[in-house]
């Protein structure tokens, strides 16, 4: 009997100030500007070489509201090659009220990119879905989710193996939080070659709303069911999107 490894990496992105690693949101300031608030973890940035980076620290947000992207740039810094020092420098920049203004063309996909130039051909880069802008008085929530889901080594036809992971939610105001797991084409199925994994939030549902009390920790369970191992042996990897939002 052939054996293979199924590994499902869970990347968590949110429209609130939350995630497993980066904590960031876009706050609408007025009709022409946003403020970025939050911070990054060193696991969120990657080193890119062979590029022509913008000098200094550069932030680009593809706003769903504007025909042009919102950007910010500080020419007066040079990023260290050390990842810990680079993360500290970026977070120092984010600790201020970073204002973004209309600038370049925009695809409106609600993604954000932050780059920090080391030299003419090298930069640190963060690029992620972040969600729509929020109002200044919106609740600030922290959602902690698992970084990866690993089914380990399984045999062919060993179906219906289930992994459950717990998510914690905490907000500074009473609010409602919606969690959604998205696989292929925003459905509740993730296909890895010929392997199929079914996604669920507290059961079989793909989306669920939670009433969150101010300052109290609430929990949710994510379910990953190996419904079909497929017939092809090998290492299989994929990505799942966990979206949290205030409906």
Domain end point (choices 73, 104, 129): 129
Q: Mind listing the pLDDT tens digit for each residue in 145-166?
A: 776 788 888 888 888 889 999 9
| Adjacent-strand bridge partners of 7 | 150, 237
Residues 117 and 146 in one domain: no
1 — pLDDT class (breaks 50, 70, 90) = very low
Q: Which two tokens stand for residue 152?
A: 């380990």
Burial of 219 (0-12, 13-18, 19+ CB in 10 A): exposed
Share of the chain above pLDDT 90, in %: 35
Write out the DSSP string of 150-195. Answer: EEEEEETT---EEEEEEEEEEESS-EEEEEEEE-GGGSSEEEETTE
Separation CA 152–CA 158 (nearest Å): 12
**Gap between the Cα atoms of 202 and 115, Å rounded:** 37
What CATH number does residue 173 fall under? 2.60.40.1090
Q: Residue 22: is its pLDDT beyond 60?
A: no
179 and 243 Cβ atoms separated by less than 8 Å: yes
Structural domain range at position 222: 3-16+139-245
Q: How far is CA 212 from the centre of its chain?
A: 21
- Please give the pLDDT value at position 111: 84
Residue 200's DSSP bridge partners are 223
76 inside domain: yes
Question: Does residue 119 share a domain with residue 35?
Answer: yes
Q: State whether 150 and 238 are in the same domain.
A: yes
d(CA 125, CA 143): 23
C-alpha count within 13 angstroms, C-beta hemisphere, residue 166: 5
Give the H/E segment covering residue 86: helix 83-94
């Amino acid at each position: 009997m052939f054996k293979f490894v199924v590994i499902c990496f869970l990347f968590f992105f949110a429209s609130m100030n939350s995630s497993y690693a980066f904590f960031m949101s876009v706050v609408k300031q007025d009709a022409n500007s946003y403020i970025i608030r939050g911070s990054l973890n060193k696991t969120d940035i990657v080193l890119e070489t062979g590029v022509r980076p913008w000098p200094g620290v550069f932030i680009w947000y593809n706003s769903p509201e504007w025909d042009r992207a919102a950007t910010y740039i500080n020419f007066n810094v040079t990023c260290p090659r050390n990842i810990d020092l680079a993360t500290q420098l970026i977070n120092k920049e984010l600790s201020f009220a970073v204002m973004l203004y209309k600038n370049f063309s925009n695809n409106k996909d609600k993604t954000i990119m932050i780059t920090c130039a080391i030299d003419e051909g090298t930069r640190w880069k963060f690029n992620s879905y972040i969600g729509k802008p929020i109002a200044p008085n919106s609740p600030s929530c922290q959602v902690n989710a698992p970084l990866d889901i690993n089914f380990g080594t399984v045999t062919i036809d060993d179906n219906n193996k289930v992994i459950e992971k717990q998510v914690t939610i905490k907000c500074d105001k009473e609010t409602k939080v919606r969690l959604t797991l998205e696989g292929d084409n925003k459905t509740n199925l993730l296909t890895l070659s010929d392997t199929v994994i079914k996604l669920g939030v507290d059961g079989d549902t793909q989306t669920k709303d939670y009433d969150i009390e101010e300052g109290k920790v609430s929990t949710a369970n994510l379910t990953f069911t190996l419904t079909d191992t497929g017939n092809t042996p090998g290492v299989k990897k994929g990505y799942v999107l966990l979206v949290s939002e205030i409906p």
